[in-house]
Amino acid sequence: MPRLYVLGNFTIDDVIYHGSSAWWDVPGGNVLYSAAGARTWLSEVGLLARLGRDYPDAHLRTLADSGFVLGLRRVDRPNIHTWALYEAGASRFVNHIDSGGHHDMSIRQEEIDESHRRAEAYHLASMPTDIQLDLVRALKRPDNLVSLDPHVDYLHRGDAALEGILRIVDCFLPSREEARLAYGADRPEEAARSFAAAGPRAVAIKLADEGSLVYDRGAARLVYVPAIDVAVTDVTGAGDAYCGGFLAGMLLTGDPVEAALYGTVSASYTVESRGALGVAIAPAEASRSRLAALRATVSVQQH
């Protein structure tokens, strides 16, 4: 059984870059990118998700051959399809075309087989908050780790479901925009401390190409981790890959700052690739080399 599982959504993506390239019917989704990020560090990673009736079986065979254990549920709905346009400056607009919705395509806790409930770590990628809360309650144990990335479309300050989640999860991993919505202001350092005070031992706020801001509640450390400068092919899924790498790092080291370094390395491989299935599983030596170089750049504040 894998030590780590990822829960989330599969998508089929059409991606267009301003003045550059276009790719059609690319397999994607937060569950796939998060799993790829964790796979950078672990030999085997599990995926728990719903699949639409039109999701290609060929993609699943590729996953099974690449070190992923699949705990999937087919539902009689079209899969989520997205259309993404990256404008100059990396702005993105995503439209969901004729497709399933996030509620339809998010796995429910009762659909998870008992054989997948004994792992050491679970990452919940972006899904509706009420579904995430049910999953957190079902999967969290005193002896495992649970991390969560909220969904920007379901966030607002004072949300009871989010407050319940923060009391349970070990790691909270929002983007800057998600942190702003949940905290009520665009002040990442304050937001990170506030979220940690509600329960999580680690909070990492993703800052896109600026890196991430990590708060380690136990050590009262606030750490800025820069992004790694690599040749960018496609930034889709980088935040999800960061989350998967972060939880893998927590599992392997127990240190939130180290976990952020692991996540950043995972994200760097994702932006170099096209599509989640194109993410290269880098040799361990190369990953360790990036990790060591990145570690030398972090700055720590004690608070």
Where residue 49 sits, what CATH number does that domain have? Answer: 3.40.1190.20
Distance, in Å, from the CA atom of 300 to the CA atom of 194, rounded to the nearest integer, reads 18
299 or 115, higher pLDDT? 115
Contact (CB, 8 A) for 2 and 69: yes
The pLDDT score that the predictor gives to residue 94 is 65
Contact (CB, 8 A) for 191 and 232: no
Whether residue 62 lies inside any domain: the answer is yes
Whether residue 105 lies inside any domain: the answer is no
Helix (H, G, I), strand (E, B) or coil at 172: strand
Whether residue 199 lies inside any domain: the answer is yes
Q: What is the DSSP letter of 104?
A: T
Q: Does position 281 have pLDDT exceeding 80, yes or no? A: no
- Taking CA 292 as the corner, what is the angle to CA 290 and CA 298, rounded to the nearest 5 degrees? 100
Residue 303: pLDDT band with limits 50, 70, 90: very low
Distance, in Å, from the CA atom of 273 to the CA atom of 94, rounded to the nearest integer, reads 20
Which residue in this structure is represented by tokens 């909070």?
Answer: 203
Contact (CB, 8 A) for 159 and 130: no
Give pLDDT tens digits for 153-174.
Answer: 888 777 899 999 999 999 999 9
Whether residue 20 lies inside any domain: the answer is no
Tell me the H-state helices in 40-96: 57-64
**194-208: average pLDDT:** 98
Q: Which domain does 297 fall in, by range?
A: 4-10+30-79+110-302
Give pLDDT tens digits for 79-131.
Answer: 988 877 777 665 565 656 667 888 999 999 999 999 999 999 999 999 999 99
Full-model pTM: 0.93
- Chain center to CA of 218: 23
Whether residue 87 lies inside any domain: the answer is no
Whether residue 46 lies inside any domain: the answer is yes
Whether residue 94 lies inside any domain: the answer is no
The pLDDT score that the predictor gives to residue 89 is 60
Whether residue 224 lies inside any domain: the answer is yes
Tally of structural domains, the chain? 1
CB atoms within 10 A of CB 224: 18
Residue 15: pLDDT band with limits 50, 70, 90: confident
